[in-house]
């Protein structure tokens, strides 16, 4: 009995020390991730409703969810999918397979306009991390990324229809992020894009409506965020007589 008491008297301080160290480590981790959660406050937070809207657009357009490479190549051959080309304001993540650097025509129109405006503003390039995907590719992605969207159902990935691109957000300055956010805010208010700012992949996930191509033909001046003093930017489209302004959300 005496030996047992001596054991607990000698072992307990060490055990308490380990527990204290463990508690401190948990608190540090909690503080770090809690601080990150507070700092992460995007304009376009991912949501279930957003995924529903993306799939409603696909259904409205009666677009297929592309099953495999055979179907992908058929859509390329029929020009239902068109290539996204690198230019002075756009490049690709080198890991993106060249065979998947394709999308619908109106989505390419949007990407080209965004890259031109972004380059004129910052003399820098946007990076496209993802464009069209097949169901087979999405299945593989879900094995390694638990946050990847499903391959079917009301919240399936809109990449499967070729109407969505992911633009790299990591590496952008705060000013660059805000510029893209306000640019998307204006188009989202018109119902032309459905954007999300993914937290784990650090990209702008942007679904583009087919109405975008018709709308852009009436525009030459894309607005800047409120308070900006830079000259107005003109994408390469036909002349317009009306200049719209962004009304930023409160």
One domain, residues 107 and 212: yes
Q: Is 227 left (phi over 0), alpha (psi -120 to 50) or beta?
A: left
Q: Does residue 148 sit in the same domain as residue 115? A: yes
Cα 213–chain centre separation: 21
Helix (H) or strand (E) holding 32: helix 2-39
pLDDT above 90: residue 242: no
Indicate whether 174 belongs to any domain: yes
The answer to whether residue 245 sits within a structural domain is no
Cβ(116)–Cβ(54) below 8 Å = no
In a domain, 37, yes or no: no
Helix (H) or strand (E) holding 196: strand 193-198
- Closest to 152 in 3D by CA, of 24, 65, 225, 35: 65
Residue 164 near residue 207, CB atoms below 8 Å: yes
Based on the domain organization, do 94 and 197 belong to the same domain?
yes
110 and 138 share a domain?
A: yes
Does 53 share its domain with 152? yes
Residues 172 and 60 reside in one and the same domain? yes
Kindly state whether residues 101 and 22 are assigned to the same domain. Answer: no
Q: Are residues 122 and 193 in the same domain?
A: yes
- Same domain? 132 vs 205: yes
CATH of the domain at 128: 3.30.1380.10
14 and 68 both lie in a single domain: no
Q: How many domains does the chain have?
A: 2
Q: Is residue 93 in a domain? A: yes
| Assigned domain for 67 exists | yes
pTM: 0.72
Task: Give residue-wise pLDDT tens across range 163-198.
Answer: 999 999 999 999 999 999 999 999 999 999 999 998
Q: Which domain holds residue 18?
A: 1-29
Segment 82-141, tens digit of pLDDT: 999 999 999 999 999 999 999 999 999 999 999 999 999 999 999 999 999 999 988 776
Angular region, 163: left φ>0, alpha ψ -120 to 50, beta rest: alpha
Is 231 among the domain residues? no
Domain identity same for 105 and 166: yes
How far is 208 from 190, CA to CA, in rounded Å?
Answer: 11
């Amino acid at each position: 009995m005496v030996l047992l008491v001596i054991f607990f008297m000698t072992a307990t301080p060490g055990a308490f020390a380990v527990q204290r160290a463990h508690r401190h480590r948990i608190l540090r981790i909690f503080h770090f991730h809690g601080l990150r959660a507070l700092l992460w406050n995007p304009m376009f937070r991912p949501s279930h409703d957003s995924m529903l809207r993306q799939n409603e657009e696909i259904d409205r357009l009666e677009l297929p969810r592309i099953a495999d490479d055979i179907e992908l190549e058929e859509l390329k051959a029929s020009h239902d999918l068109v290539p996204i080309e690198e230019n002075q304001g756009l490049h690709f993540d080198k890991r993106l397979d060249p065979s998947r650097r394709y999308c619908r025509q109106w989505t390419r129109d949007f990407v080209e306009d965004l890259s031109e405006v972004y380059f004129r503003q910052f003399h820098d390039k946007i990076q496209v991390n993802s464009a069209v995907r097949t169901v087979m590719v999405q299945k593989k992605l879900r094995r390694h990324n638990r946050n990847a969207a499903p391959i079917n159902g009301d919240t399936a990935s809109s990449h499967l229809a070729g109407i969505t691109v992911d633009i790299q957000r990591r590496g952008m300055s705060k000013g660059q992020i805000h510029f893209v956010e306000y640019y998307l805010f204006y188009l989202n208010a018109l119902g032309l894009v459905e954007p999300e700012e993914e937290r784990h992949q650090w990209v702008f996930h942007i679904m583009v409506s087919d109405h975008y191509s018709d709308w852009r033909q009436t525009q030459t001046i894309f607005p800047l965020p409120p308070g900006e003093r830079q000259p107005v930017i003109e994408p390469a489209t036909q002349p317009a007589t009306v200049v719209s302004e962004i009304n930023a959300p409160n």
